[in-house]
Homo-oligomer: A and B are copies of this chain.
Amino acid sequence: MKRLKVSNNVIRRLPRYLRKLDELSAQGVTRVSSSELGKQLGLTPSQIRQDFSCFGEFGQQGYGYHVPSLRRQVAAILGMDRNYQAVLIGVGNIGHALIDNFCFSDWGFHLTAAFDVKPEIIGATFNKVPVLSMEELPKYLDEHQVDIAVLTVPKDAAVPVTQILTAHGVEAIWNFTNVELTEPNSSTIVENVHFSDSLLSLSYYVSERQDERAARAAREARRENSSISNS
């Protein structure tokens, strides 16, 4: 695929487009205009056209977008058709939750193995994923294609495990540890999951509503006061 250098903001919107297109498909919608898509996503139609124009011409003047084709193209841009292989390191609560409930294959990933240090789960299989010992990790990485590692270890283990991963050729890490894994100019691609970003956005919206309510109450109190003083 030919790639221009695309801005991070565009890249971050692609998964949202994908979700919206899946939603439309589920509703039986096969055709959508950029203005309708924009309305549903809180974006302007021109922003949407611009975003897609980074990757080629997807829509047709006067027709809009064909939902299944656009979905296929967005999925391809995201690399969902490349059969990426993943391993997960650290089968604690969050690791376990991902193995059990996160459908890696829906997003084009194959989770081939998990690694942990706890003897009581080594050798077990959760949701068809075998749990291997951490000691086997270097050898496993040398012998298998591993495109990304999901890092769900305790904080203290985050950096040492990252060093093993990068020393054995893993180039991309999906990081749930809240620890800064690599030096600024490292060639490893790290995607940090920050739960707090999402909670703080929610906090903002709750605060906004509180403030609006307080402002309304203040206006009403003023009105009442002035009607008392007028009477």
Q: How large is the interface on A (under 10, 10 to 19, 20 to 34, 35 or more residues)?
A: 35 or more
Q: Is the CB of A203 within 8 A of B18?
A: no
Q: Is A109 on the interface with B (CB-CB < 8 A)?
A: yes
Contacts A172-B205, A204-B79 given; does A19 touch B194 at CB 8 Å: yes
Binds B, one of A9-17, A114-122, A133-141: A9-17
Nearest-CB distance from A118 to chain B (Å)?
Answer: 15
- Majority-rule SS of A interface residues: helix
- Rounded to whole angstroms, the CA-CA distance of A97 and B77 in the bound complex is 33
Interface residues of A in 76-129 (CB under 8 A from B): 77-80, 82, 84, 92-94, 96-98, 100-102, 104, 106-109
Interface residues of A in 192-230 (CB under 8 A from B): 193-212
Q: Is A62 on the interface with B (CB-CB < 8 A)?
A: no
- Rounded to whole angstroms, the CA-CA distance of A99 and B202 in the bound complex is 18
Residues of B within 8 A of A194 (CB): 15, 19
> Which residue from chain B places its CB closest to the CB of A11 in the assembled complex?
B204
> Which residue from chain B places its CB closest to the CB of A102 in the assembled complex?
B195
Residues of B within 8 A of A212 (CB): 3
- Rounded to whole angstroms, the CA-CA distance of A203 and B109 in the bound complex is 9
**Cβ-closest 7 pairs across A and B:** A79-B207, A93-B97, A191-B202, A15-B197, A94-B97, A15-B200, A79-B203
- B-binding residues in A (CB < 8 A): 1, 3, 8-9, 11-12, 14-16, 18-19, 23, 42, 77-80, 82, 84, 92-94, 96-98, 100-102, 104, 106-109, 147-148, 171-172, 174, 180, 189, 191, 193-212
20 new A-B contacts at CB < 8 Å, known A79-B204, A79-B210, A189-B209: A11-B204, A12-B197, A12-B201, A15-B197, A19-B196, A78-B203, A79-B206, A84-B206, A94-B94, A108-B203, A109-B203, A148-B202, A171-B206, A171-B209, A174-B199, A189-B206, A191-B198, A191-B202, A191-B205, A193-B198
